[in-house]
Amino acid sequence: MASAAASAHIQATPTLCAAAKPPVQMHSEHPQRKRVLFVTSEFADLIKCGGLGDVSAALPRALSPQHDIRLLIPGYRQVVESGRPIRIVGQLTGLAALPPCQIGRMDLADGLIVYVLLNAALYERDGSPYVDTQGRDWADNHIRFARLGLAAAEIATGDASIQWRPELVHANDWPAAMAPAYMAWRQASTPSLLTIHNLAYQGLCDMRCASELAIPESACGVDGLEFYGQLSFLKAGIAYAQHVTTVSRRYAREITTPEQGCGLDGLLRAKVLLNQLSGIANGIDESWQSENDPHLLQGFTAGDWAGKQANATYVRRWLNLDADGPLFAVVSRLVHQKGIDLTLQVAEHIVARGGRIGVIGQGEPALEAAMADLGRRYRGRIGVHIGFDESDARRLYAGSDFLLMPSRFEPCGLSQMYAQRYASLPIARCTGGLADTIEDGVSGFLFDAPQADAYRRAIDRALHVFEHPELLDAMRCKAMRAPLYWRQSVQPYDRLFQRLLSQAGAHRAMR
């Protein structure tokens, strides 16, 4: 099932017999460590499109001291050709239009175990996990990601021919959201948790796809997957998971309102009444250390800004920016949600006030083109790089004075925390996780309305601070202490895992 280029890294397990299931491992080596399957469509070590990839790489590692947590990801070309050996450990039969697959196991150097869902026809393609090289959604995304959810359910019910069986399944966003539904339809006793990273992306497909996905007719109504005449993967996860989390406390409140509920606010309010919805803020991983990040030209600590200046010098040369003036950064997907159009509207104001803007990102073609045109019109004052490079992005965070982040909505946001850690003060809209992680006038600047006038006023406040070095230094030092690392923010997940496992145990005892 794997491509020829990848076959050297995929090895059959000699003891695996397709005709018989191996015994299911029912006890961890350490009884207090629970077995958790973390189901995701991105994993930054191997493939990343956005913040989900970062979270999927960091959260399982942060939880691993407390739990035996393993990942399940699709076997994209970037995964199977990563050079890391993959050992075949499981076989999955097909169901309706969902094809048979293999389960490979990848053991990473730090001990993290990744299960890879292998089917070359489904996953080994050029492009990203979700779109082709022209930016168009794959026409069979409903098959590709329903297969991921079904695989998670099969592992949970012991039908995957592997020796490890989870006590809890943690699904992430719409690509994994069918896992709780398939688990429920298979009457799995294993509890499931769904984390919503962005409610706006719901995984919609035609209602006629129900038979292809083996969705029971009883689940196709308004109380199930039906969403304004279509099927919604995310709604399935919300409806069938024992608990739903999202990635900040404020966003958990916002998505229960008609304004930001994306049509699912009623279902989410019902979850609140059942005490089945909560917000748990993301952290950042341990690599974001300004003093010793190998991506930076020179490290720095709070109050000693020589290293920050060295990175600023690199950024100005890289983007052909003039050497004077405060440096504003845009490190973002160039999409409507991120308020890029608002930044386009205020850019002239920043330049007129003596500021310089450095941009790195990619996204919607129209916004990419508009940003590139802005760079051409303001050569030396606005520098634009369409694309993404981790080292250059980190140097831009470290070298900039301010980060522009006028998101229309932001479930959590990581960029503002990366910027804070590197003493770049975020200028952000007061929404979702931005409101939870930025203290206005202390560790950054917030504005309310998603309008250019409100944005300009926040920028003017930032420029006033820049003109007063003592105040700027104080805010930089506050900002650097603000972000949480994952090791500091895993306790709520640990408590929730224990609660769900306890409830599941009580439910089984009552049967």
- The closest of 402, 378, 374, 381 to 322, measured between CA atoms, is 381
34 annotated as a binding-site residue: no
Collapsed DSSP state (helix, strand, coil) of residue 150 = helix
As a whole number of angstroms, the distance between CA 309 and CA 94 comes to: 57
Position of tokens 């895992």?
A: 497
Collapsed DSSP state (helix, strand, coil) of residue 39 = strand
| CA contacts within 13 A on the Cβ side of 17 | 5
Position of tokens 């206005």?
A: 440
**DSSP string for 80-129:** HTSS--EEEEEEE--BTTB--EEEEEEE-TTS-EEEEEE-HHHH--SS-S
- What does R_g of the chain's alpha carbons equal in angstroms? 23
274 Cβ contact list (under 8 Å, min separation 6) = none
Rounded to the nearest 10 degrees, the angle between the axes of helix 51-63 and helix 491-510 is: 70
Collapsed DSSP state (helix, strand, coil) of residue 511 = coil
Span between the terminal Cα atoms of the chain, in Å: 42
Amino acid at 298: Q
As a whole number of angstroms, the distance between CA 175 and CA 365 comes to: 24
Beta bridge partners of 118: 102
As a whole number of angstroms, the distance between CA 62 and CA 65 comes to: 7
Strands 226-227 and 113-118, bridge-based pairing: unpaired
For 154-313, list the strands marked E by DSSP: 168-172, 192-196, 204-206, 226-227, 230-232, 243-246, 277-279
Helix, strand, coil: what percent of the chain each, to 5? 40, 20, 40
User: Which residues line the annotated binding site?
Assistant: 48
User: Which residues line the annotated binding site for ADP-alpha-D-glucose?
Assistant: 48
